[in-house]
Structure 1
Amino acid sequence: MEFTHLGRTGLRVSRFCLGTMNFGPHTSEDDAHQIMDTAHEQGINFFDTANVYGWGENKGRTEEILGSWFAGGGGRRERTVLATKVYAAMGEWPNESGLSALNIRRAVDASLRRLRTDHIDLYQMHHVDRATPWEEIWQAMEVLVAQGKILYVGSSNFAGWHLAQAQETARARNFLGLVSEQSLYNLLVRDVELEVLPAAEHYGLGVIPWSPLHGGLLGGVLRKEREGVRRVTGRSAEALEGKREQLQAYEDFAAELGHEPADIALAWLLTRPVVTAPIVGPRTLEQLHGALRALDVELDQKALDRLDEIFPGHRPAPEDYAW
Structure 2
Amino acid sequence: MSHTAVVEDVYSAIEDSARLAGVPCSREGIVPILTAYGDTLADAGIVLSVSTNEHPVSELDYTITVPTHGPDPYTTAVEHGFVTRTDHPAAALLPDIQQQVPVSEYFIDGGVVSGFSKIYAHFPFTPLTVEQLAAVESMPRAVAENAGLFARHHLHQAAMIGIDYRRRTVNLYFAQLPEQFGTAENILSLQRELGLPRPDGELLEFARKSFRVYVTLGWDSAQVKRICYAPAPVRGWDPAALPVPVEPETEKFVRGARRTYGGDPIVIAACKWTPEGAYLNLGPYTRVSPLMRTLLRNLTGQEV
Give yes or no for TM over 0.5: no
Considering fraction of residues, name the structure with more helix: 1
TM-score norm. by structure 2 comes to: 0.31
TM-score norm. by structure 1 comes to: 0.30
Considering fraction of residues, name the structure with more strand: 2
